[in-house]
Amino acid sequence: MIYGIGTDIVEVDRIAVKIEKGKGFRDLVFTANEIAYCEQQVHPAQHYAARFAAKEAFLKAMGTGWGHGKINFNEIEIVNNETGKPLLQLTGTAVASYSELQIKQIHVSLSHIKATAVAMVLIEV
């Protein structure tokens, strides 16, 4: 059964500026795995922006949105499987926070171009 669907679109430059200002934003929002992945790409800001959009889309699919104190952004991790498909994983307090929902699967789709990144998340319970 579908629990929720969320989508988000992000301006790549907005994320790039925040990352260039210092490591604070980057370390608050992204995991070490995400940082390593993005920094290996030709256009890191596009990949950071897509992951940021996915985290926002996940929270929208959950019906909570940003800032409700339930979890930290870096407890939502976007990784890629062996074929490059993006996967959304929960870590830390996010696992406990959403365990009562018995989430079966989280589907995530990412896309980005020079100026924008978009993500869609569908949660099955």
Q: Which residue segments constitute the domains of the chain, with CATH numbers given?
A: 2-124 (3.90.470.20)
pLDDT at position 108 is 99
pTM metric for this prediction: 0.94
| Rounded Cα–Cα distance for residues 113 and 108 (Å) | 17
By CB atoms closer than 10 A (0-12, 13-18, 19+), residue 115 is exposed
pLDDT at position 69 is 61
Residue 27, marked binder: no
HSE toward the beta carbon, residue 37, CA cutoff 13 A: 18
Length in residues, the chain: 125
Average pLDDT value over all residues in the chain? 94
Residue range 65-112, pLDDT digits in tens:
776 667 889 999 999 999 999 999 999 888 887 888 899 999 999 999
Positions marked active-site: 60, 112
7-32: average pLDDT? 96
Confidence category of residue 124, pLDDT binned at 50, 70, 90: very high
| Of residues 13 and 96, more confidently modeled | 13
Residue 20, marked binder: no
CA 92 to chain centre: 15
